[in-house]
Amino acid sequence: MSTEGASSPSRLLPSLLGILLLLMGLAMLAGGIKLSMLGGSLYYLLAGLGLILSGVLLLAGRSAALLVYGVVLFLSSVWALWEVGLDWWQLVPRLSLFFVLGIVLLLPWFRRPLLRNGPAPLGTAVLSVAVVLAGGAALGSQFTNPGEISGELGRETADTASAAPAMPEGDWQAYGRTEFGDRYSPLKQITPANIGKLQEAWRIRTGDMPTAKDPVEITNQNTPLKVNGKLYACTAHSQVLALDPDTGKEIWRFDPKIQGPNGDDFRGWAHMTCRGVSYYAEANFTQSDASSTPASLSAAGQAIAASCPRRLFLPTADARLIAINADTGKVCEDFGNKGAVDLKAGIGPFTPGGYYSTSPAAITRNLVIIGGHVTDNESTNEPSGVIRAFDVHDGHLVWNWDAGNPDETAPLAEGKTYTRNSPNMWSLASVDEKLGLIYLPLGNQMPDQWGGNRTAGAEKFSAGTVALEIDTGKLRWNYQFTHHDLWDMDVGSQPTLVDLKTADGVKPALIQPTKQGSLYVLDRRDGTPIVPIREVPAPTGAVEGDHTAPTQARSDLNLLPPPLEEKGMWGATPFDQMLCRIQFKELRYEGQYTPPSTQGSLVYPGNVGVFNWGSVSIDPVRHLLFTSPNYMAFVSKLVPRAEVAAGSKRESETSGVQPNTGAPYAVIMHPFMSPFGVPCQAPAWGYVAGIDLTTSKVVWKHKNGTSRDSSPVPIGLPIGVPSMGGSMVTAGGVGFLSGTLDQYIRAYDVNNGKELWKSRLPAGGQATPMSYTGKDGKQYVLVVVGGHGSLGTKMGDYIIAYKLSE
């Protein structure tokens, strides 16, 4: 009996590998043919042919498979280095799988069965060199940081002081700490030298968790206040808690018991959130920084003030503005109708959840000034975006400013309706009482992606900042940042006010972060640019019935990403990277401001924005701006009305079919993702950055966040993930962020951006941290940890405070 085959290495393993390579090759060949027909890279077609040949040779037991696969891997490495250089995250989908298979093929169990007819020195050598080249590229990429900027601010002061309204250093009396919106704490106990001792001091749970009756996008974006010896926080369902700042113990709770048309069933609403409450103290009424003197209160007014001398103003999800006694948690009965003003008055009809204020009101002198969120892309007949000023004592309407009727600021007559579908302010205003001005960041007239029906008021005021006189609501100036906005570039960030040291002396500045990535620096007295703003040409070619603006405003101070390119497409593997390249070539993209189309257009930066409602934080002493820019592309596809499928439903305001009822097009929106559920654009998608405001230069910029909570395997790869939430900076030289998709609060050295400390959170921290001094004299850092429904972070109901250990 012959034993010739008994000692021969088995061909099973190389045959299995051959089948795998054959299937991979066929997939890449098919995709490569389509990509090449779209004018894309020929690499995938050629690599597919090489993989097919390698697979066939393996199945045939031929040693030439080593040579052919070695050539494929070698040329793939050369191509990858030519396209993206030593960029680790760009090299991963291009080479990692092929590199691993190259090593496998060199293993004796796979290689020896191919050498029955003699050694194959050339094939083995070529494959070995190819593996070394790919491995060397991977190793070399560990020493590069594409997209990052290293540097140091190198100063503790720019010889300027904060011009923000005075308050006790240990307080945080407004959403942005002051009505300047700088998110700057003058506390200095926590420093880069001792941050390692920062530890959790206390945590509580509010008990307000999402239910099956809530919208998908339920969020906890609250920044609590610390004033009047207490912490004040609100929850997604508009409950307000007063807490002991040292222990978190609940002092009182107010529940407005919000109701919609279907009672407590809020399904179908676009979203539900409460970013904060506002505080007013009667003692401040006569200590205003406003240019004009407040009128004296009548005897009746004095009685109202005495009954509720310290009050909170709560905007509820069912469109009420409620005044609450900050001491007791009881309603201030003399405000409005038994403690509440109905914000639906004069607004007209809207879909459930389609109008309310998601952001806290501005408090200035004796006024509480508030806008309202209007659901994006629901219809062309949406509520007015009117901004209204109410008396803080009795709630009577003092003035209203409607972008659709901007010259008429006298209170609207009873029974009348504000201009339908005028631009709204869903974010936060800022106030300069000395100048007597309030600054409003405005959104768009609906719908966002089709502007054929835009009114003159919308074309003038949309996607810009408006300055109104505090006393009268009269327009002082406005500056538009996106002309004829078709990309949902509404201004979602609170303007930040700071006095800037310039070559022409110190100027009162307003810094307006925007979704498109520009930071517009204006003289807040008259709206003239301090940092140059240039009108740059923009792509043309809107759909029939619409038009585009020939130019768009771009600030010289910006954190704009470079334009997308085919070679910048990404994926977890070479296959979904190839599919992302195909998507990229099939979509319309001519750079920033590519018009929406029925073909489908890429919007980059996407409508979530480089900057959103979290805005930025500014150290007015160091003249440093600290922020967390995001870079995520979205797809926007117009759908002719006749083609909109019956029963189509939106997933959120930034995903799914947006109906745009009344417009000739609906719009389908979604993030630009691969079929495997990862972004089609290469990382990083999120950074932290520091800007020197004396030079308008980016001093440092580093990837921020890991993949731990956004990948199937909970490994914290430092890839740089998006962040939703704001930053906070302290006089101690430490900045804080908690909004990244991974569940951490982090601390950074504001001088160089180095991560100094982090603490694991029990849920998503999509909020803005704040800092205060407790009754024990210690500095605390506090964050609301509640998650974000549409981002997919873990939901929770936590409030967590940290302080230095003894």
Backbone angles phi, psi at 118, to 5 degrees: 120, 165
Residue 654 has pLDDT above 70, yes or no: no
Q: Is 65 helix (H, G, I), strand (E, B) or coil?
A: helix
Q: In this structure, which amino acid lies at residue 420?
A: R
Residue 606 has pLDDT above 70, yes or no: yes
pLDDT band at 285 (very low <50, low <70, confident <90, very high): low
Q: The tokens 């040291």 sit on which residue?
A: 501
**Cβ atoms of residues 688 and 698 within 8 Å:** no
Distance CA 286, CA 306 (A): 14
Q: Report pLDDT digits (tens) over 210-230.
A: 999 999 899 999 999 999 999
Out of 6-10, 235-239, 259-263, the most confident range is 235-239
Distance CA 806, CA 803 (A): 9
Q: Report pLDDT digits (tens) over 754-784.
A: 999 999 999 999 999 999 999 999 999 999 9
Mean pLDDT of 95-122: 91
Q: Is 302 helix (H, G, I), strand (E, B) or coil?
A: helix
Pairing of strands 355-356, 373-374: antiparallel
Distance CA 587, CA 589 (A): 6
> What b/e readout covers 648-668, taking b as 16+ CB neighbours within 10 angstroms?
eebebbbbbbbbbbebbbbbb
Closest CA to 179 of 168, 189, 165: 165
Distance CA 153, CA 223 (A): 28
Q: How far apart are the first and last CA of the chain?
A: 84
Burial (CB count within 10 angstroms: exposed 0-12, middle 13-18, buried 19+), residue 423: buried
Mean pLDDT of 695-710: 95
**Cβ atoms of residues 74 and 126 within 8 Å:** yes
Least confident of 147-156, 234-243, 304-313, 555-564: 304-313
Q: In this structure, which amino acid lies at residue 119?
A: P
Residue 290 has pLDDT above 70, yes or no: no
Closest CA to 467 of 455, 476, 456: 476
**Cα→Cα distances 18→53, 426, 448, Å:** 9, 58, 52
Distance CA 474, CA 466 (A): 10
Closest CA to 512 of 463, 551, 584, 452: 463
Distance CA 780, CA 222 (A): 17
**What are the beta bridge partners of residue 234?**
240
pLDDT band at 307 (very low <50, low <70, confident <90, very high): confident
Distance CA 632, CA 310 (A): 43
Q: How many residues does the chain have?
A: 806
Closest CA to 788 of 362, 210, 199, 314: 210
Mean pLDDT of 3-26: 80
- For residue 734, give every residue at least 6 positions away whose Cβ sits within 8 Å of its Cβ, in sequence order, or none: 190, 191, 192, 195, 747, 748, 749, 750, 756
Q: The tokens 């731990």 sit on which residue?
A: 708
**What are the beta bridge partners of residue 701?**
149, 689
Burial (CB count within 10 angstroms: exposed 0-12, middle 13-18, buried 19+), residue 17: buried
Distance CA 363, CA 323 (A): 12
**Cβ atoms of residues 445 and 422 within 8 Å:** yes
Q: In this structure, which amino acid lies at residue 444?
A: N
Please give the mean pLDDT across all residues of the chain.
Answer: 93
Closest CA to 346 of 391, 395, 387, 393: 387
Q: In this structure, which amino acid lies at residue 753?
A: G
Predicted pLDDT of residue 140:
96
Q: Report pLDDT digits (tens) over 419-448.
A: 999 999 999 999 999 999 999 999 999 999
- For residue 37, give every residue at least 6 positions away whose Cβ sits within 8 Å of its Cβ, in sequence order, or none: none
Q: Report pLDDT digits (tens) over 354-411.
A: 999 999 999 998 999 999 999 988 889 999 999 999 999 999 999 999 999 999 999 9
Predicted pLDDT of residue 6:
41
Backbone angles phi, psi at 69, to 5 degrees: -65, -35
Predicted pLDDT of residue 648:
66
pLDDT band at 489 (very low <50, low <70, confident <90, very high): very high
Percent of the chain topping pLDDT 90: 84
- For residue 61, how many other CB atoms are within 10 A of its CB? 16
Q: Is 500 helix (H, G, I), strand (E, B) or coil?
A: strand
Handedness of CA 412, 417, 422, 427 (dihedral sign): positive
Burial (CB count within 10 angstroms: exposed 0-12, middle 13-18, buried 19+), residue 643: exposed
pLDDT band at 130 (very low <50, low <70, confident <90, very high): very high
Question: Which contiguous run of DSSP H or E holds residue 293?
Answer: none
DSSP-assigned letters across all residues of 360-387: PPEEETTEEEE--EE-TTSBSS-----E
Mean pLDDT of 672-680: 92
Spell out where 493-649 has E strands. 496-502, 505-513, 519-523, 533-537, 551-555, 601-603, 617-619, 624-627, 634-640
Predicted pLDDT of residue 397:
97
Pairing of strands 798-804, 198-205: antiparallel
Q: Report pLDDT digits (tens) over 727-747.
A: 999 999 999 999 999 999 999
Q: Report pLDDT digits (tens) over 79-89.
A: 999 999 999 99
Distance CA 724, CA 728 (A): 13
**Cβ atoms of residues 192 and 749 within 8 Å:** yes
Closest CA to 109 of 248, 10, 18, 194: 10
- For residue 93, give every residue at least 6 positions away whose Cβ sits within 8 Å of its Cβ, in sequence order, or none: 570, 571, 572, 573, 574, 576, 577
Predicted pLDDT of residue 582:
98
Percent of the chain topping pLDDT 70: 96
**Cβ atoms of residues 251 and 244 within 8 Å:** yes
Locate the domains of the chain by residue range: 12-143
Mean pLDDT of 780-804: 96
Distance CA 496, CA 494 (A): 6
Residue 714 has pLDDT above 80, yes or no: yes
pLDDT band at 69 (very low <50, low <70, confident <90, very high): very high
Closest CA to 616 of 499, 737, 470, 761: 737
Pairing of strands 665-671, 250-254: unpaired
**Cα→Cα distances 253→174, 207, 257, 331, 767, Å:** 19, 11, 12, 11, 21
**Cβ atoms of residues 619 and 690 within 8 Å:** no
Spell out where 27-164 has E strands. none
Tokens of 410: 């006298």
**Cα→Cα distances 294→287, 391, 398, 474, Å:** 10, 12, 13, 18
Q: Report pLDDT digits (tens) over 719-728.
A: 999 999 999 9
- The 8-class DSSP code of residue 294 comes to P
Predicted pLDDT of residue 5:
41
Q: The tokens 């011009």 sit on which residue?
A: 163
Tokens of 301: 């007014």
Mean pLDDT of 664-672: 93
**Cβ atoms of residues 234 and 240 within 8 Å:** yes
Residue 308 has pLDDT above 50, yes or no: yes
Least confident of 1-15, 210-224, 396-410, 669-683: 1-15
Backbone angles phi, psi at 251, to 5 degrees: -95, -45
pLDDT band at 129 (very low <50, low <70, confident <90, very high): very high
Catalytic positions, written as ranges: 488
Predicted pLDDT of residue 671:
93
Q: Report pLDDT digits (tens) over 153-202.
A: 999 988 888 889 999 999 999 999 999 999 999 999 999 999 999 999 99
> What b/e readout covers 350-375, taking b as 16+ CB neighbours within 10 angstroms?
bbbbbbbbbbbbbbbbbbbbbbbbbb
Predicted pLDDT of residue 272:
93
Least confident of 294-303, 312-321, 470-479: 294-303
